[in-house]
Structure 1
Amino acid sequence: MPDKLGSYLRELRGKESLRDVSKRTNGKISHSYISDLEKGVSRRGNKISPSPETLKVLSKVYNTDYDKLMKLAGYSDKDYKKKYVDLADDDVVMSYEGKPIPPEDLEIMRRFFRGGKNDK
């Protein structure tokens, strides 16, 4: 039986195919993993625990509240609000020791994590 997160994700998807949703994630989430999330278990029968990063992608694809997905997945506010920040997320103001990191320094950091490549 699907869990609350799985049921909610299935509701958000509506009649759209799993493959179409996967394409909208730009290849970040496979159609089979989305199916597993909706069922609440992996193909091996183990309970699924999606990462905050996966839920962030799905929140954008489905245009739904990230906090709601996190809570449905069983995360508490303290589990993710202060720990997870995506460097690729332009909606986040990143800081270090209370001072905002300038955009040019963020780009250097992004380039570093891409392995020195300039392209996104």
Structure 2
Amino acid sequence: MSNNLGDYLRALRGKESLRSVSDRIGGRLSHSYISDLEKGLSRRGTPIKPTPEALKALSEAYDVSYEKLMMMAGYIDKSANDDVKQTANSKSDKIETIAAHIDDDVTDEQMDEILNYIDFIKHKHSKKD
């Protein structure tokens, strides 16, 4: 498993506890297994690759694309997907990335600043068009 997948899973989880994620998916994955996946290593220190079933459970838990997780884990060759599909997913992937960086520590004032910046960027680019 690439470290990118582990980092991505950790970002998606945010401040939520590992036990909470495990509970939300009906215990299909233990909290310790989810932790191992985020680290990319088993408790024995050997590289770990999630099963497709584990990726399916995590895609449901985090409401993210199962296909993306399968690609990140190396089950699906990125080049095998057509360009149209990748373009369609790229915007949603960016939205997921932005959302993963906003957690419970963001104050109302910071959230307002983020939203104002988004509006600024949208208006800045709409004036150029």
Pairwise same-fold verdict (TM > 0.5): yes
Deviation at 1:18, TM superposition (A): 0.4
> Taking every aligned residue pair, what percent have the same amino acid on both sides?
64
* Bigger helix share: 2
For residue 50 of structure 1, what is the aligned residue in structure 2? 50
| Structure 1 length-normalised TM | 0.61
For residue 19 of structure 1, what is the aligned residue in structure 2? 19
Query: Structure 1 CA distance, aligned partners of 2:4 and 2:71?
Result: 10
Deviation at 1:48, TM superposition (A): 0.8
Amino acid at match of 1:36: D
Deviation at 1:25, TM superposition (A): 1.2
Query: Structure 2 CA distance, aligned partners of 1:74 and 1:45?
Result: 20
Unmatched 5+ residue regions in structure 1?
Answer: 78-120
Amino acid at match of 1:34: I
For residue 65 of structure 2, what is the aligned residue in structure 1? 65
More RCO (CA 8 Å, sep 6+):
2
Q: Equivalent residue of 1:37, what SS?
A: helix
Unmatched 5+ residue regions in structure 2?
Answer: 78-129
Please give the per-residue CA displacement for 1:53-106, whole angstroms capped at 9, x wherever unaligned.
Answer: 1100100010000011001111125xxxxxxxxxxxxxxxxxxxxxxxxxxxxx
Q: Which has the larger radius of gyration?
A: 2
Query: Structure 2 CA distance, aligned partners of 1:29 and 1:3?
Result: 19
| Structure 2 length-normalised TM | 0.57
Please give the per-residue CA displacement for 1:19-63, whole angstroms capped at 9, x wherever unaligned.
Answer: 000101101000000000000000001111111111001000100
Deviation at 1:5, TM superposition (A): 0.6
Amino acid at match of 2:50: P
Query: Structure 1 CA distance, aligned partners of 2:25 and 2:51?
Result: 15
Query: Structure 2 CA distance, aligned partners of 1:12 and 1:64?
Result: 9
Amino acid at match of 1:70: M
